[in-house]
Amino acid sequence: MAPPRSLPELIEDTIAEVLLRIPPDEPAHLVRASLVCKLWRRILLDPAFLRRYREFHRIPPLLGVLRNSITASLFQSFRYVPTTSASTIPQPAFDCVRWRALSCRHGRVLHDMGFYGVDLVVWDPITGDLQKLPKSSITISFYSSAAVLCAAGSCNHLGCHGGPFLVVFVSSHDGRPGELFARVGVYSSETGAWDTPAPLYLAGVRCEVDRNRNGALIGDNIYFSLELGEKFLKFDLGNNSLSMMDPPDLYNCGVLLMQTEEGSLGLAGIRGSRLCLWSREVDPKGDAGWVPRRFIKIQKLFPNNTPRYRRSVIGFADGVGVIFV
């Protein structure tokens, strides 16, 4: 039989249970709690408590947005825009002029230091670590997109800083007369090298890879969009292969690939004054197809003088369920 707990131990356990229930969507609350006394600060800084805190709340908070923009001197750059009252992410301590954020997932941000995806770096905004990637052997075009993801098989992605990661880069090029082809490069931080799977010819396709849409990770597959949502590209990490699939009928409007609440492939797009949500599902016969899920009226969210052609879906926060319009 275990000996009875002392009163100070019971008090500390009770305080830990109270602190465990502080909502994570406003980090300033945790900072203020750590200033109450030395005991509270010691509890909040304990790695075991932080691990329990992440597992208890599961869904990570949305701390901010990385916004790409064109400066007054026509240089492309990015800036971090916090969505909480107290930002927990410091501004980058490096010169990020002409940098462009390509992908953000699992605590890492993939940046293009130039304009064509030739010079890539992976940045950990929490620790400040910066890792420059070697140049890929594939030819990079202006029309390209990318995705960064954790490569640790057993990781729950609640705090995978410093672990191995993968970068998947896709680029489209002119191929045969009237055709395009797409090439993929896969970088592994464990090997420090790029792998280049076989290219895919995009027969009958008119649009290039959409450089303003990053890849959507669903299971072991990463999905990329062509411009105007004409087609989608699917890269299978397990088979190291690239394939093409059709979108639903959204009148070729700009759509955004995303993960649904059930963990399957979904997409969001604007049709008129509604936000349309679709999901990729398999019917009883085993055939996969697009199924409409929700149509949300968003007319009242915009000023009355906002033209409809100015409305579009521009981003999705992985793991948080937030769509940016």
Residue 3 placed within a domain: no
Helix (H, G, I), strand (E, B) or coil at 215: coil
Number of H helices, E strands in the chain: 4, 21
Residue 93 placed within a domain: yes
**Mean of the pLDDT values across residues 205-215?**
81
**Mean of the pLDDT values across residues 47-51?**
89
The answer to whether residues 234 and 259 belong to one domain is no
Specify whether the CB–CB gap between 229 and 208 falls below 8 A: no
213 pLDDT above the threshold of 70: yes
Identify the domain boundary among 194, 224, 246: 246
Domain range enclosing 306: 248-324
pLDDT of residue 116: 63
> In angstroms, rounded to a whole number, what is the distance separating the alpha carbons of residues 111 and 92?
12
The answer to whether residues 107 and 166 belong to one domain is yes
The answer to whether residues 176 and 286 belong to one domain is no
Residue 306 placed within a domain: yes
The answer to whether residues 227 and 293 belong to one domain is no
pLDDT of residue 82: 82
Residue 41 placed within a domain: yes
Could you tell me what percent of the chain has a pLDDT over 70?
85
The answer to whether residues 110 and 180 belong to one domain is yes
31 pLDDT above the threshold of 70: yes
Confidence band (pLDDT; 50, 70, 90) for 208?
Answer: confident
The answer to whether residues 75 and 152 belong to one domain is yes
Average pLDDT, the chain: 81
Under 8 Å CB-to-CB from 126, ≥6 apart: which residues?
88, 89, 107, 161
145 pLDDT above the threshold of 90: no
Residue 133 placed within a domain: yes
pLDDT digits (tens, 9 = 90+) for 301-317: 777 766 666 778 888 88
**Mean of the pLDDT values across residues 69-77?**
62
Specify whether the CB–CB gap between 136 and 146 falls below 8 A: no
Confidence band (pLDDT; 50, 70, 90) for 74?
Answer: low
Identify the domain boundary among 221, 246, 271: 246
Residue 192 placed within a domain: yes
The answer to whether residues 124 and 216 belong to one domain is yes
Could you tell me what percent of the chain has a pLDDT over 90?
14
Selection from 35-44, 84-93, 296-305 with the highest mean pLDDT: 35-44
**Mean of the pLDDT values across residues 206-224?**
86
The answer to whether residues 266 and 118 belong to one domain is no
Specify whether the CB–CB gap between 148 and 165 falls below 8 A: yes
Specify whether the CB–CB gap between 229 and 269 falls below 8 A: yes
The reported pTM is: 0.83
Residue 2 placed within a domain: no
Q: Greater confidence, 22 or 286?
A: 22
Helix (H, G, I), strand (E, B) or coil at 30: helix
Residue 4 placed within a domain: no
pLDDT of residue 88: 66
Identify the domain boundary among 198, 226, 246: 246
The answer to whether residues 273 and 224 belong to one domain is no
The answer to whether residues 234 and 254 belong to one domain is no
User: What does the angle CA 220 – CA 221 – CA 226 come to, to the nearest 5 degrees?
Assistant: 165
For residue 167 the two structure tokens come to: 């970068």
72 pLDDT above the threshold of 60: no
The answer to whether residues 99 and 35 belong to one domain is no
pLDDT digits (tens, 9 = 90+) for 156-173: 777 777 788 999 988 887
The answer to whether residues 311 and 168 belong to one domain is no
pLDDT digits (tens, 9 = 90+) for 247-300: 887 655 668 898 888 888 998 888 878 888 999 888 778 778 888 888 888 877
The answer to which of 75-84, 223-232, 295-304 has the lowest mean pLDDT is 75-84
The answer to which of 24-28, 73-77, 94-98, 290-294 has the lowest mean pLDDT is 73-77
Tell me how many domains the chain contains: 3
